[in-house]
Every structure is written in structure tokens, then in C-alpha cells.
């Protein structure tokens, strides 16, 4: 069942991440990797179990150790994903698809089917992964990466910087509006899509380069993370903690006009993007609306849990709320 959240790490200095105990290793049969290059690379370097079958606590600690991600932000993202994609009975999550290693699953409509599961956390208009409607939503897509390279060459001086992120984000949304009749860009995807566009700049630039003022990510390094789950050979994490709610995020959001919404599902046609009238739910801050959305999705998957399952869900919901508290009204669906 559920476990308490591990505490923040103590040493947040700039340091070597690819040390002798954390060398890259190729995948073995059955190892799970999925739509998140950050977590994929941690698993392929042994900061997470190389199987790709992980506990939420292991993720919270690994993203701090590997990238200096801020504890609270790590808690928010990790428990959001775990609530909808994890197995609450065994406390295990697949970074990719279904795996017997996550153990006996709770009864349907629960999924416990890993980060690849479309429409839960994973969503449309990803940088380097196709929309689920149009193809494979979790594997590296060379065509999409080439578009990112072209844009980075045009506006980023050959690097993936904030200007490149802003144009890639916009192009991917336009592409989905034009080609995916099921395109969904409503909350929570409206939030995560922007955050993910700046994560490569915030976390994949070597800490020594960042300290020297570098603001763009080398495209070979980027390909390593995105395609091969691989960090550069002497990768150093950044020397300051970050939540990614930095200036880059504001820049990417402000560079174009965006509204949360979707291609009109009933009409099933493209180029029919309409605003989501209810994207904030009952809460007024974006992070609280995201919190509410994930709690509601959890209730849809677990309408009436009993015993150990109910206990674990309550623990994981409480863990999730830790990252939202102070701003947001707590929702307690099972009390």
C-alpha cells in the first residue's frame, strides 16, 4: 500500500551524476521506458531501478539527486502520475507500458497501466512523441525531433533555448489542431505541456555550463536524453534547485496566444478548436485546478475502493495534497 513521502535531499550542490555507480546501460527485455525522457534517463543510469518499475518515493528522491528538481514540484508531478497510472496495492508504477512486475492490479475501471496510458497524465502535442490518435505516444519520433532541430537552428542559434521552446510548443499545438480530431489541450495538459517544453532547458543543461551562463541545450545532448535515455558521459546536475516555474516558462507561455480546450469531440473533425468552459473546476489557481483534475480522475478510476486499496489511495491523495496545500482546498473523496 501507500508510503509516506521521502524528505528533501540535503546536499543540493552542483555535482557529477554519471559517476561509476550510475553508468548508462542498454535496455534488457522487459525493461520499461516511456514518454518521459527525464525519468527514462534516470532508470537507464541506475538512479531509478533499471527495470523501469518504480515506487513514487524512488521518483521523488531520484529527480532531486539526478536533476536538482525542487522537492515540492517533484511531489506534485510524481503523485499526480501515480494516482492515475500506478498500482496502489503494490505501490509500483511502470515508466512505460503494462508490466506484470507491477503486480496484481486493482479491479476495473482502475488501469494501473503505466505512464504510457493516454489521456491520464500523458497527453497530446508532445515535443518528440506523437499524439496517441496519430501514432505511438511514447517512443522517440525522428520526424518530430527533426522539426525541433530545424526550429532550434532557425531561432535558437543551433540550440534548444527558450526561443526555440516557444516556437516548438506553438508548432506542436498547431499541428495537433490541424491533424488530430481528438486533440485535447485542456487542463491538466494545458499546464504540463508548457512545463515539459522548458524542462530540457531547466534540467538537461550541464550544471557547469549553466553556472557559466549557458541558456541553450546542445541538440546532440538533447537527442541522447530523448532517444537513448542517456546522459552525457560526465553529466553534472545543476547547482541550484528548480521548480521550472522560471522565466523560461513565462516566456514560452507568453510567446503565443493559447487557450485551454480541445477539437470539438462530438463533431470529430480537425481545425475545430473550442475553449474548455470548465478548465479551472471549482478552484481559482492553476495549480489547484490541476490538483482537482487529478483527484477527479482518480475517483473515476476508483469509484468505491475498500480495505487496503482505500487506505493506500487516501495515503497517496494526502501525499499529492502536500504539494498543493497552502493554496488549494483539499478534496477528500473517500472520507
Binding site for ligand HEM (CB under 6 A): 35-39, 59, 63, 67, 69, 74, 77-78, 81, 115, 121-123, 126-129, 196, 199-200, 203
Instruction: Return the number of the residue (80 or 288) whose C-beta is nearest ligand HEM.
Output: 80
- Cβ 48 to Mg ion shortest distance, Å: 20
Nearer residue to ligand HEM within complex by CB, 196 or 292: 196
In Å, what is the CA distance from 241 to each residue of 7, 10, 14, 73, 124?
Answer: 15, 11, 10, 10, 28
* Residue (101 or 134) nearer to Mg ion, CB: 134
Q: Which stretch binds Mg ion (CB under 5 A): 12-20, 127-135, 184-192, 236-244?
A: 127-135
Least Å distance, CB 224 to ligand HEM, is 13
CB 190 within 8 A of CB 124: no
- To ligand HEM, the closest distance from the beta carbon of 306 in angstroms equals 27
- Grid cell 527525464 is found at 38
Q: Does 242 bind Mg ion (CB under 5 A)?
A: no
Residue 37 interacts, among ligand HEM, Mg ion, none and using kind-specific CB cut-offs from 5 to 8 Å, with ligand HEM
- Report the alpha-carbon angle 34-57-197, nearest 5: 45
Cis peptide before 109 (omega within 30 of 0): yes
Q: Output the CA torsion sign for 235, 148, 262, 124.
A: negative
For residue 39, the partner it binds in Mg ion, ligand HEM, none, with Cβ less than 5 to 8 A by kind, is ligand HEM
Residue 67 or 279: the one with the smaller Cβ distance to ligand HEM is: 67
Cα separation of the two ends of the chain: 18
List 87's β-bridge partners, or say none.
Answer: 92
Give buried/exposed letters for 101-122 (b at 16+ CB in 10 A, else e). bbeebbeeebbbbbbbbbebbb
Provide the β-strand partners of residue 273.
263
Q: What is the DSSP string of 274-294?
A: EE-TTTTTT-SSHHHHHHHHH
- Residue at shortest CB range from ligand HEM: 38
Question: Site for Mg ion (CB under 5 A): which residue of 87, 102, 126, 152?
Answer: 126
Q: Near Mg ion by CB under 5 A, which window of 121-129, 182-190, 194-202, 316-324?
A: 121-129
Q: How many CB atoms lie within 10 A of CB 50?
A: 17
By beta-carbon proximity to ligand HEM, the closer residue of 169 and 328 is: 169
Considering the complex, what minimum distance in angstroms separates the CB of residue 41 from ligand HEM?
A: 8
Q: Does 116 bind Mg ion (CB under 5 A)?
A: no
Which single residue is written with the C-alpha cell 515539459? 196
Report the nearest approach of ligand HEM to the CB of residue 38 (Å). 2
90 vs 147, beta carbon nearer Mg ion: 147
Is 128 near Mg ion (CB under 5 A)?
A: no
User: Using CB under 5 A, which residues numbered 129 to 148 contact Mg ion?
Assistant: 129
> What's the length of the chain?
335
CB of 113 to ligand HEM, least distance (A): 12
Secondary structure of residue 246 in the 3-state scheme: coil
Cis peptide before 279 (omega within 30 of 0): no
Q: Is 263 in the site for Mg ion (CB under 5 A)?
A: no
Residues found near Mg ion in the complex (CB under 5 A): 122, 126, 129
Amino acid at each position: 500500500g501507500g508510503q509516506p513521502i521521502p524528505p528533501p535531499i540535503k546536499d543540493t550542490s552542483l555535482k557529477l551524476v554519471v559517476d561509476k555507480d550510475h553508468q548508462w546501460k542498454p535496455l534488457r527485455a522487459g525493461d520499461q521506458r516511456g514518454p518521459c525522457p527525464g525519468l527514462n534517463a534516470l532508470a537507464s543510469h541506475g538512479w531509478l531501478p533499471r527495470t523501469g518499475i518504480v515506487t513514487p518515493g524512488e521518483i521523488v528522491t531520484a529527480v532531486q539527486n539526478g536533476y536538482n528538481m525542487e522537492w515540492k514540484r517533484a511531489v506534485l508531478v510524481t503523485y499526480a502520475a501515480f494516482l492515475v497510472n500506478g498500482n496502489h496495492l503494490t505501490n509500483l508504477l511502470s515508466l512505460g507500458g503494462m508490466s506484470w512486475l507491477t503486480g496484481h492490479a486493482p479491479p476495473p475501471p482502475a488501469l494501473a497501466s503505466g505512464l504510457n496510458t493516454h489521456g491520464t497524465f500523458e497527453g497530446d502535442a508532445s515535443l518528440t512523441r506523437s499524439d496517441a490518435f496519430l501514432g505511438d505516444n511514447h517512443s522517440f519520433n525522428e520526424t518530430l525531433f527533426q522539426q525541433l532541430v530545424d526550429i532550434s537552428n532557425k531561432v535558437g542559434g543551433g540550440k534548444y533555448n527558450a526561443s526555440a521552446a516557444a516556437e516548438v510548443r506553438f508548432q506542436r499545438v498547431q499541428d495537433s489542431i490541424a491533424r488530430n480530431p481528438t486533440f485535447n489541450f485542456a487542463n491538466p495538459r494545458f499546464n504540463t505541456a508548457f512545463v515539459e517544453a522548458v524542462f530540457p532547458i531547466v534540467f538537461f543543461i550541464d550544471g557547469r555550463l549553466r553556472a557559466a551562463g549557458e541558456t541553450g541545450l546542445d541538440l546532440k545532448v538533447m537527442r541522447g536524453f530523448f532517444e537513448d535515455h542517456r546522459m552525457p558521459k560526465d553529466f553534472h546536475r545543476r547547482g541550484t534547485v528548480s521548480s521550472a516555474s522560471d522565466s523560461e516558462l513565462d516566456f514560452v507561455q507568453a510567446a503565443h496566444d493559447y487557450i485551454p480546450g480541445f477539437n470539438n469531440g462530438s463533431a470529430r473533425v480537425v481545425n475545430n478548436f473550442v475553449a474548455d468552459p470548465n478548465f479551472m473546476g471549482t478552484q481559482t489557481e492553476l495549480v489547484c485546478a490541476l490538483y482537482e483534475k487529478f483527484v477527479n480522475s482518480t475517483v473515476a478510476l476508483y469509484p468505491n475502493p475498500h480495505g487496503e486499496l482505500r487506505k493506500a489511495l487516501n495515503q497517496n491523495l494526502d501525499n499529492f495534497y502536500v504539494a498543493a496545500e497552502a493554496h488549494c482546498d483539499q478534496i477528500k473523496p473517500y472520507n
